[in-house]
Amino acid sequence: MTDKAEKQIAELSKTLNEHLYRYHVQDSPTVSDAEYDALFKQLEQLEAQHPHLIKPDSPTHRVGGPPLEGFEQVKHKVPMLSLNNAFTFEELSDFDRSVRERLETEEGGEVTYLAEPKLDGLAISLRYESGILVQAATRGDGTTGENVTDNIRTISMLPLKLRTKKPPAVLEVRGEVFMDTASFDESNKSLIAAGDKPFVNPRNAAAGSLRQLDSRKTAKRRLSIYVYSLGEVEGVEAPASQFKILQWLSGFGLPTNTEIKECIGPEACFKFYEFILKRRPLLGYDIDGVVFKVDDMIQQRELGFRSRTPRWAIAQKFPAEEAQTQLLDVEFQVGRTGALTPVARLEPVFVGGVTVSNATLHNMDEIERKDIRRKDTVIVRRAGDVIPEVARVVVERRKKGARKVKMPARCPVCSSPVERADGDAVARCTGGLSCAAQRREGIKHYASRRAMDIDGLGDKLVEQLSEAGLINSIDDLYKLTAEQLTSLPRMGEKSATNLLESLEKAKQTTLARFVFGLGIRDVGEGGAAALADHFGSLDAIMAADETSLETVEDIGPVVSASVVAFFANADNRAMINALIDHGVNFPVLEKAAVEQRLEGNTYVLTGTLSSMSRDQAKQKLQRLGAKVSGSVSKKTTAVYAGASPGSKVTKAESLNVPVFDEDALQALLNENEL
């Protein structure tokens, strides 16, 4: 009986999955909804009688399961990176020029790009093992995401089993989960009918649906997905171009966007951009731009990555949506580095899918350039469809006597003098750690997702703890008690326990996160990662002088000066010691043990290397203390050239700079690495 049931379940699953593929991917259904429902019910009954026979690719997984207590964390084996943005043809051309220069393309040569719509949804990673979907994870911070496998399985157009007889051992694909316009309208009608608050826009609807702890609720909201790139792949060789990869993935039954095109050169890219912009209202789903990727995978590897973005891709964003409203007032917020940022308080207006009541004014230079005054009628836009900003003033509607905006002479929080250095667009409070706003913003930054990632410690709670006098500095976080927390309004025993557990968990971190969390002026996430990777230990970073700091990738004189000044401050050192005394720790990287044997040397890499990529060679040289430059000068120690080198070799010869081959480079590395 069991053998018969097993056979029936297998046949029904195969049939139903085939119908789903034909309906959702090929848009050519071969059975009616009633016939499909009858087959599905038959499968449900059989699985209920024989639960041990339920397979991971069963169509019944698409209806969702019991609620979860929370999402598990997933570490991405291949980081999920974000993209740099372009808003004009000039910026797109600059990107193309940078690509050609790094690839050392011959004069007049052009690069082929794969162009595709930029979906306005949530990035997702899907892992198939031996053809079966075993894990789905959100992008998170690019390194760690959340396990949303149960929710992803409810997406009907996504195969739970790849359509191939010889699946790869591992196939990890990246894509975007979104909600199309029809499903969005349908979901909002249902929410309104139930007396619930409707979603503001399809992206919020997709995000809210994908992060439901009860996957049965996700199943009721029709989500869609398109895949567009690869992560980890084992057991098979992927195609050599981005365009062919999409065709390859489509052959596995994975849904891919058909609105794609190979474009040669920036002019062709921009023509496609204009074409998609016109088609945007007809697509049936939201997009906010076009993504251009270097099509050749070898060239992608050669171009490599920055700290959080690939050098071989860019997102050309659509023009921001705009709306008119009144500027009620201008207030100045104090950031963690003392920077005073003017913020516009607006008559609420609906723009770009959200209601906006505050907008950035950037700095005083921008206010003066745009001649923004209090009580003006202004045009507000969501720059890049994300950050609201005041684009311009409707001068003809300006009222007589409209007051100009002036930078306050003293900090609005601590009354310390405000200073603006010559040539600096930013004015700063000079109060330092004596300024409550700087301390508070520093704590928010330390707890943020990309820094120490203290779950449950959001901006509002930091404000609450600060106002209650429970925290005045970062290390005060680790002195909090359950009794103190439960004394706060709306803070129950369970919430207090969860926060204390999060604080304890976050003590185990990485050097890069900790350095970023310290909030050193001018040191962003990429800079912190570069410092950690180069020096390997906090002690080494703290002991570094400006000269040694400037040998680090992307660390120039401004950042170097900020790092030295930060660690020279006795209060900052005392705070770091206090954090370590409280148990905050991070592993010392192996790089810390490597002597800086090539310190003081500057090298240039050119051509294609066979034993490693240029990025890998660059990292190895930097690890040994060398500086790697993108251009040849009289200060260059040597040029190392791989196959098909470009004009850098000619430049080196004209300056009498030594030029060596890849074997010599490998010998240099072998000789100096421990």
Residue 328 inside a domain? The answer is yes
Exposed / middle / buried, residue 55 (Cβ in 10 Å: 0-12, 13-18, 19+): middle
CA distance 135 to 149: 5
Residue range 6-20: average pLDDT?
Answer: 77
Whether 648 is a known active-site residue: answer: no
User: Is the same domain home to 240 and 345?
Assistant: no
CA distance 252 to 155: 16
Top mean-pLDDT range of 16-20, 152-156, 525-529, 530-534: 152-156
Confidence category of residue 29, pLDDT binned at 50, 70, 90: low
pTM for this prediction: 0.68
pLDDT in tens, 245-274: 999 999 999 999 999 999 999 999 999 999
**Matching residue, tokens 């991070």:** 586
Strand-pairing partners, residue 345, are 329, 358
Predicted local confidence at residue 592, as pLDDT? 44
Structure tokens at 324: 């008119």
**Alpha carbon 193 to chain centroid, angstroms:** 36
Residue 302 inside a domain? The answer is yes
DSSP 279: H
- As for how many domains the chain has, the answer is 6
Q: Taken in order 375, 378, 384, 386, is the CA torsion positive or negative? A: positive
CA distance 558 to 199: 44
Exposed / middle / buried, residue 627 (Cβ in 10 Å: 0-12, 13-18, 19+): buried
Residue range 7-16: average pLDDT?
Answer: 78
313-326 burial code (b ≥16 CB/10 A, e <16): bbbbbbebeebebe
Strand-pairing partners, residue 225, are 177
User: Is the same domain home to 97 and 235?
Assistant: yes
Q: What percent of the chain has pLDDT over 90?
A: 54
The mean of the pLDDT values for the chain is 88
User: Is the same domain home to 99 and 176?
Assistant: yes
Confidence category of residue 384, pLDDT binned at 50, 70, 90: low
CA angle 128/235/666 to nearest 5° reads 120
Residue range 216-220: average pLDDT?
Answer: 87
Q: Is the pLDDT of residue 385 over 60?
A: no
CA distance 379 to 377: 7
Out of 505, 525, 550, a domain closes at 505
Residue range 585-592: average pLDDT?
Answer: 68
User: Is the same domain home to 290 and 360?
Assistant: no
Residue 425 inside a domain? The answer is no
Confidence category of residue 233, pLDDT binned at 50, 70, 90: very high
Identify the CATH number of the domain in which residue 16 sits: 1.10.287.610
* DSSP letters for 333-391: EE-TTSBEEEEEEEEEEEETTEEEEEEE---HHHHHHHT-BTT-EEEEEEETTTEEEEE
* More confident position, 53 or 460: 460
How many other β-carbons are positioned within 10 Å of the β-carbon of residue 391? Answer: 16
CA distance 109 to 93: 14
Q: Is the pLDDT of residue 43 over 80?
A: no
326-340, 420-434, 558-572: range with lowest mean pLDDT? 420-434
User: Is the same domain home to 446 and 530?
Assistant: no
The torsion angles phi and psi of 95, rounded to 5 degrees, stand at -60, -45
DSSP 25: T
Confidence category of residue 635, pLDDT binned at 50, 70, 90: confident
Exposed / middle / buried, residue 470 (Cβ in 10 Å: 0-12, 13-18, 19+): middle
Residue 77 inside a domain? The answer is no
Structure tokens at 377: 């009628």
CA distance 203 to 434: 41
Contact (Cβ atoms closer than 8 angstroms) between residue 263 and residue 269: yes
Q: Which domain holds residue 165?
A: 85-317
User: Is the same domain home to 490 and 453?
Assistant: yes
Residue 456 inside a domain? The answer is yes
Residue range 487-494: average pLDDT?
Answer: 90
Contact (Cβ atoms closer than 8 angstroms) between residue 287 and residue 280: yes
Contact (Cβ atoms closer than 8 angstroms) between residue 316 and residue 289: yes
Predicted local confidence at residue 593, as pLDDT? 44
User: Is the same domain home to 491 and 586?
Assistant: no
CA distance 237 to 546: 45
User: Is the same domain home to 391 and 539?
Assistant: no
Residue range 525-531: average pLDDT?
Answer: 87
Give kind and range of the element (H or E) at residue 40: helix 33-49
Out of 593, 613, 641, a domain closes at 593
Give first-to-last CA distance, the chain, whole Å. 65
138-148 burial code (b ≥16 CB/10 A, e <16): bbbbbbbbbbb
Residue 69 inside a domain? The answer is no
Predicted local confidence at residue 28, as pLDDT? 64
Q: Is the pLDDT of residue 353 over 70?
A: yes
Out of 419, 443, 460, a domain closes at 419
Predicted local confidence at residue 30, as pLDDT? 72
User: Is the same domain home to 139 and 274?
Assistant: yes
pLDDT in tens, 55-75: 777 777 666 556 666 788 898
* More confident position, 307 or 563: 563
Structure tokens at 644: 């098909």
Residue 68 inside a domain? The answer is no
Closest CA to 427 of 373, 370, 380, 366: 366
Predicted local confidence at residue 66, as pLDDT? 64
* DSSP letters for 128-165: EETTEEEEEEE-TTSSEEEB-HHHHTT-TTS-SB-S-S
Identify the CATH number of the domain in which residue 261 sits: 3.30.470.30
pLDDT in tens, 624-633: 888 888 788 8
- Integer-rounded Cα Rg, in Å, for the chain is 28
pLDDT in tens, 639-656: 999 887 878 888 888 899
Residue 656 inside a domain? The answer is yes
Residue type, 123: A
Q: Taken in order 437, 442, 448, 454, is the CA torsion positive or negative? A: negative
User: Is the same domain home to 409 and 294?
Assistant: no
pLDDT in tens, 83-138: 988 988 999 999 999 999 888 887 778 999 999 999 989 999 999 999 999 999 99
Which residue is catalytic, options 4, 7, 77, 118?
Answer: 118
Identify the CATH number of the domain in which residue 372 sits: 2.40.50.140
User: Is the same domain home to 186 and 293?
Assistant: yes
